[in-house]
């Protein structure tokens, strides 16, 4: 019997999302002969009953290399706790999960693939408990999802951050400057750590390791004393000094998301006090989550999308696709809700320390 399945992307966009959408559509159509519809704007598309997008071969043909998501990511948030603003300005928190379930049924979906991060998986898990037929595909450029070795979008973010370090290096060297680069990573320091090592940073400040600015200052002074008159410092958005608080969060317009940082500039100011060199700060911002996905992210996203369709065929409701080693495996959605952090005592941090990089 011909099935009809849906795909929905929750949370922010990530390079590779369109490649997931394409792989889901092509695999469902060609392998299984199913029909595929796209749900717009995350869970909003369900409870608010937005029109769907038919995902034909023709429609998805050119999506492989395209950044963003054609399904949109301008969602208002959690259907179990939706902030509704009334005309009088009062705010109500409503549970519209039943509307979401009703909509899945009304659309006649025999399965729904949800691509998203920890928040999205948490919502999807609850919907599964209420009877929804959902499988998950992991998505976060921060690479902080548990149970999967890596997520698509991360490699593209790393490329962008590393290219920025390459560029800052040449001008830092010419001007004898200290360059501070603030990269994404509110909870986990994967982007900072990986791009920092790949881009030749001298100090990497991540949320998992509260930093002592004096350690960074000393490192810069040591480099100067050794004749290297410039330094590169990578700071994750969520990094914080020992005993300090994370600075990154400023309430977003609709409560669903915070704004970018401030820690980069704070670190820059601290360093200006303690080292005899000009300090410049660059906040990389949203360019990290945009643009064409790398070859690797397209490959990973394609594998995730294809596997998601197989899980629908196998009716593995409540499971999420994950990459472990070189294999696609299925893991229960609720196991990914806890984030994956950089281990301060682990071999990756140790490798960086051994090469002379400080973590503050």
Q: What is the closest distance, in whole angstroms, from the C-beta atom of residue 229 to a copy of itself in the complex?
A: 7
Cα distances (Å, whole numbers) of residue 172 to 68, 177, 193, 299: 32, 5, 20, 35
- Closest to a copy of itself by CB, 112 vs 193, is 193
Which of 272, 103, 241 shows the shortest CA–CA distance to 178? Answer: 272
Q: What is the closest distance, in whole angstroms, from the C-beta atom of residue 167 to a copy of itself in the complex?
A: 3
Q: Dump the DSSP string for 240-309.
A: -BTT---------TTSS-PPP-SHHHHHHHHHHHHSSS-EEEEE-GGGGG-SPPPHHHHHHHHHHHHHHH
Binding flag, residue 12, a copy of itself (CB under 8 A): yes
Binding flag, residue 87, a copy of itself (CB under 8 A): no
Q: What is the closest distance, in whole angstroms, from the C-beta atom of residue 210 to a copy of itself in the complex?
A: 23
Of 20-28, 87-95, 98-106, 209-217: span binding a copy of itself (CB under 8 A): 20-28
Cα 347 from chain centroid (whole Å): 23
Among positions 209-268, residues that touch a copy of itself (CB under 8 A) are: 226, 228-229, 252-254, 259-260
Give the x-and-dash track for 330-359 against a copy of itself (CB under 8 A). Answer: -----------------xx--x--xxx---
Q: Is 96 left (phi over 0), alpha (psi -120 to 50) or beta?
A: alpha
Q: What share of the chain is helix, strand, coil (3-state, %, to 5)?
A: 40, 20, 40
User: How many beta carbons lie within 10 A of that of residue 121, not counting itself?
Assistant: 29
- Closest to a copy of itself by CB, 2 vs 226, is 226
Handedness of CA 5, 9, 10, 16 (dihedral sign): positive
Distance CA 49, CA 213 (A): 51
Which residue out of 13, 44, 118, 142 is catalytically annotated? Answer: 142
Distance CA 101, CA 308 (A): 20
**Binder to a copy of itself among 8, 21, 39, 161 (CB under 8 A)?**
161
**Binder to a copy of itself among 122, 198, 218, 335 (CB under 8 A)?**
198
Q: What is the closest distance, in whole angstroms, from the C-beta atom of residue 89 to a copy of itself in the complex?
A: 15
Q: Which residues of 151-166 are buried (b: 16+ CB within 10 A; e: fewer)?
A: bbbbbbbbbbbbebbe
Q: Which residues sit opposite 7 in a β-bridge?
A: 38, 113
Residue 119 · residue 12 · CB < 8 Å: no
Binding flag, residue 13, a copy of itself (CB under 8 A): yes
**Binder to a copy of itself among 167, 221, 339, 344 (CB under 8 A)?**
167
Among positions 35-74, residues that touch a copy of itself (CB under 8 A) are: 57, 61, 64-69, 72-74
Binding flag, residue 290, a copy of itself (CB under 8 A): yes
Q: What is the closest distance, in whole angstroms, from the C-beta atom of residue 275 to a copy of itself in the complex?
A: 11
Of 90-98, 126-134, 205-213, 282-290: span binding a copy of itself (CB under 8 A): 282-290
Of 45-53, 96-104, 132-140, 159-167: span binding a copy of itself (CB under 8 A): 159-167
Q: Among this protein's residues, is 144 annotated catalytic? A: no
**Binder to a copy of itself among 128, 145, 158, 204 (CB under 8 A)?**
158
Distance CA 292, CA 208 (A): 30
Among positions 306-325, residues that touch a copy of itself (CB under 8 A) are: 306-307, 309, 324-325
**Binder to a copy of itself among 145, 197, 209, 263 (CB under 8 A)?**
197
Q: Which residues sit opposite 114 in a β-bridge?
A: 8, 136
Among positions 91-110, residues that touch a copy of itself (CB under 8 A) are: none
Distance CA 224, CA 220 (A): 6
- Closest to a copy of itself by CB, 108 vs 346, is 346
Distance CA 211, CA 191 (A): 17
Size of the site for a copy of itself (CB under 8 A): 93
Distance CA 235, CA 206 (A): 6
Of 45-53, 103-111, 202-210, 288-296: span binding a copy of itself (CB under 8 A): 288-296
The pair phi, psi for residue 84, each rounded to 5°, is -110, 125
Q: Which residues are catalytic?
A: 142
């Amino acid at each position: 019997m011909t099935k009809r399945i849906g795909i929905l992307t929750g949370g922010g966009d990530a390079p590779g999302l369109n490649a997931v959408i394409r792989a889901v559509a092509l695999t469902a159509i060609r392998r299984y002969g199913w029909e595929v519809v796209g749900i717009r704007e995350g869970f909003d598309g369900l409870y608010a009953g937005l029109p769907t997008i038919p995902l034909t071969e023709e429609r998805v043909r050119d999506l492989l290399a395209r950044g963003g998501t054609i399904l949109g990511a301008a969602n208002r948030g959690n259907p179990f706790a939706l902030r509704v603003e009334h005309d009088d300005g009062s705010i109500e928190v409503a549970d519209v999960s039943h509307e979401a379930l009703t909509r899945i049924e009304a659309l006649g979906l025999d399965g729904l693939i949800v691509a998203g991060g920890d928040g999205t998986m948490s919502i999807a898990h609850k919907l599964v408990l209420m009877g929804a037929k959902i499988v998950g595909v992991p998505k976060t450029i921060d690479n902080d999802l548990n149970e999967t070795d890596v997520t698509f979008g991360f490699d593209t973010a790393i490329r962008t951050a590393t290219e920025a370090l390459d560029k800052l290096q040449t001008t830092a060297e010419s001007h004898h400057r200290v360059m501070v680069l603030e990269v994404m990573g509110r909870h986990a320091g994967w982007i900072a750590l990986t791009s920092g090592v790949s881009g030749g940073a001298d100090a990497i400040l991540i949320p998992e390791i509260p930093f002592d600015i004096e350690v960074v200052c000393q490192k810069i002074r040591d480099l100067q004393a050794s004749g290297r008159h410039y330094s590169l410092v990578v700071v994750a958005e969520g990094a914080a000094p020992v005993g300090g608080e994370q600075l990154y969060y400023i309430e977003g317009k609709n409560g669903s998301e915070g704004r970018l940082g401030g820690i980069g500039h704070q670190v820059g100011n601290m360093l200006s006090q303690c080292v005899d060199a000009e300090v410049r700060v660059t906040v990389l911002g949203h360019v990290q989550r945009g643009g064409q996905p790398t070859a690797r992210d397209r490959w990973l996203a394609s594998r995730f999308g294809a596997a998601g369709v197989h899980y629908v065929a196998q009716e593995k409701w409540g499971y999420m696709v994950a990459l472990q080693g070189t294999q696609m495996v299925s893991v229960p959605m609720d196991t990914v809700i806890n984030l994956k952090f950089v281990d301060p005592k682990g071999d990756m941090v140790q490798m960086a320390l051994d090469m002379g990089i400080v973590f503050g």
